Every structure is written in C-alpha cells, then in structure tokens.
C-alpha cells in the first residue's frame, strides 16, 4: 500500500474521515492533511526536496475563502502547479463536482489517476480508488464512470463561456461586441454575438437571455 499520502481538503469533517479511513482501513503509514492549496503545495515541494516524496495526492477542487490570502485558490490550480513542474505523483480528485464536461476536462488534461464524487458512498469509492491506483489502474467513481462513453450533447466553447459571463456581469450585447473587437476575439460583430446567443438559447432550452444565463449558472458553466 502507499506509504505517504497528502490529503488536501478544506473541511475538517471530511479530512478527518479520509485520514482515519486511509490509516485504519488501508494501512497507510503517513497521512498528511492540508486545508489550504498553497500550504499543500509547499508541503509537496518540501517533501520532494527532502527526498521523502508523497506516493499519492488526494485533493478537493473547491476551497472556501478565508482570512488567508491564497495564491493557489483551488484544487485545479494546485494540480496545474504540480503537473507544470513535471511531477507525476498519482492524483485522486475528491469533489462534489460531477458535471460531465468539468470532470472530463480535469481527467483528460491533468493526468488524473482517479476521480471520486463526494456522495453517500464517496468514502467507500475513495477507498476503492486508492486500492485500484495502487495496483496501477485508473479509477472513476460510478457517477462519472460514463464520461468517456456518452458523447457530449453539445459543445460549449471558451468563447461561449466568455459571452455568458459577460452577459451575467450586466454587459449589453453592444458592449460585448466592443470588447471582443478590442481584444481581437472573433467573431466580434453584434450580429454574430446575437446569433451565438440564439444558438446557446437553443441548446440550453432558454426562451430569452435571462433564462439562458440562469440555466448556464445552474449547469455551472459560469
């Protein structure tokens, strides 16, 4: 079994549960708990320099803000930093996030070994994930195990997300057109923006722009 595991999770109630499960049920010798991404990053770097690296990272994605000023605000940025430096320590994401698009993006682009959705049996699946990954396999908890088979209902590009978030910030379509023009983002004409908004309204089954933005928020696109 893994000897040294770093758990990055802001909620102590969860971190405590994970930690005990790892030690008592899986026999992990050393479990280090970190409640801040920045702190976790420092701990990770230090362990590498001390020649006592972690065998496994388990991390949440979303972290509450705090009095502390954090350069690394969430699990995604944390993983980016680690992978950006070339370290290939296996990583398990343990998060409530289960939207297929978001999960797929995480798994594909960051070399994630396992993705476990926090749920009624999340801790059990996390245990299975650790065991599988120790055997060299990858692991996805049941809620997201189908992300690769079922094709996307529709493609939302970065452009669309920018558009939606500008709308949700109260910008008028004309203002957005102006911004896209200045930023050399194409298409940038008012007409094209209208058309794109219409397509999004189709895809997200919205009758008007208000509902469009509301639905986009519900889906977590913005």
Three-class DSSP category at 113: coil
Cis peptide preceding 187, ω within 30 of 0: yes
State in angstroms the smallest separation of the CB of 56 from its own copies.
17
Q: How far is the CB of 156 from DNA (least distance, A)?
A: 15
Q: Cβ(98)–Cβ(117) under 8 Å?
A: yes
165 is written with which tokens? Answer: 């978030």
Residue 43 C-beta: closest distance to DNA, Å: 45
Q: Report helix, strand and coil shares of the chain as percent, to nearest 5.
A: 50, 10, 40
| Rounded Cα distance, 9 and 58, in Å | 8
| Strands in 67-123 per DSSP E | 91-95, 114-117
The nearest distance, CB 154 to DNA, in angstroms, is 14
Choice between 33 and 48, CB closer to its own copies: 33
State yes or no: residue 32 binds DNA (CB under 7 A): no
187 belongs to the binding site for DNA (CB under 7 A) = yes
Residues that bind its own copies (CB under 8 A): 10-18, 20-21, 35, 64, 66, 94, 118-124, 126, 167-172, 206-211, 213-214, 217-218, 222
> Does position 194 bind DNA by CB under 7 A?
yes
Between 50 and 218, whose beta carbon lies closer to its own copies? Answer: 218
Q: Please, which residue, 187 or 220, has the CB nearer to DNA?
A: 187
Q: Helices 12-20 and 122-134: crossing angle, nearest 10°? A: 50
Query: Which residues bind to DNA, rule: CB under 7 A?
Result: 172-174, 186-192, 194-195, 197-198, 201, 208-209
């Amino acid at each position: 079994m893994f000897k040294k595991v770093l758990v990055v999770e802001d909620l102590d109630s969860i971190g405590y549960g994970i930690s005990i499960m790892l030690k008592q049920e899986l026999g992990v010798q050393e479990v280090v708990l970190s409640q801040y991404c920045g702190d976790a990053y420092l701990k990770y770097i230090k362990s590498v320099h001390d020649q006592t690296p972690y065998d496994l990272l388990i991390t949440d994605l979303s972290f509450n803000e705090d009095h502390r000023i954090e350069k690394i605000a969430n699990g995604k940025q944390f993983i980016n930093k680690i992978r950006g430096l070339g370290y290939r320590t296996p990583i398990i994401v343990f998060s409530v996030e289960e939207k297929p698009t978001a999960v797929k993006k995480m798994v594909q682009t960051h070399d994630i070994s396992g993705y476990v959705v926090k749920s009624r049996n999340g801790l059990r699946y996390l245990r299975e994930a650790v065991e599988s990954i120790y055997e060299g396999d990858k692991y996805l908890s049941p809620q997201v195990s189908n992300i690769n088979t079922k094709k996307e209902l529709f493609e939302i590009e970065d452009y669309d997300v920018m558009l939606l978030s500008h709308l949700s910030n109260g910008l008028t379509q004309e203002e957005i057109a102006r911004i896209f023009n200045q930023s050399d983002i194409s298409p940038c004409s008012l007409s094209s923006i209208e058309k794109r908004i219409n397509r999004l309204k189709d895809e997200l089954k919205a009758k008007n722009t208000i509902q469009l933005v509301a639905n986009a928020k519900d889906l977590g696109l913005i």
